[in-house]
Homo-oligomer: A and B are copies of this chain.
Amino acid sequence: MPVDDDLWSAIGDPTRRRMLDLLLSEGGGTATSLSERLPVTRQAVAKHLVVLDRVGLVHATAIGRERQFRVDPEQLARAAAQLADVGAAWDARLHRIKRMAEQIQRRAHENGQQSTEKEQ
């Protein structure tokens, strides 16, 4: 399961992550309503919404002259799964390294000759 770079960089921006949080906690919003709770202008928010829409994390429905945005649960779940994947992969590597270090330590402590082990 390789990482989707576009999706990842979409959620990589701190402002966009806060926007997703707001959209989730309030069940939706417009560029204007979001910009009122963020330290950026409406136009900046609108650009971020374009980015999020391009990767499918949000969808807009026009209501009168307003454009209501809502989170796409499937895509966000996919994003969350990727975060978990990468984090787990790092954890696994770190654990392997830690275990290896302990083994070397133990071996060096007891006798003190061998060094024929190979890492992955």
Asked, given contacts A9-B14, A17-B3, A77-B91, whether A86 binds B86 with beta carbons under 8 Å apart, the answer is no
Q: How large is the interface on A (under 10, 10 to 19, 20 to 34, 35 or more residues)?
A: 20 to 34
Chain A residues in contact with chain B, CB under 8 A?
3, 5, 8-9, 12-14, 17, 20, 24-25, 27, 73, 76-77, 79-81, 83-84, 86-88, 90-91, 93-94, 97-98, 119-120
CB distance from A13 to the nearest CB of B (A): 8
Copy total for this chain: 2
Q: Are A8 and B3 in contact (CB under 8 A)?
A: no
User: Besides A79-B87, A83-B83, A84-B88, 9 other CB < 8 A contacts?
Assistant: A3-B14, A9-B14, A24-B93, A24-B94, A24-B97, A73-B97, A80-B86, A80-B88, A80-B94
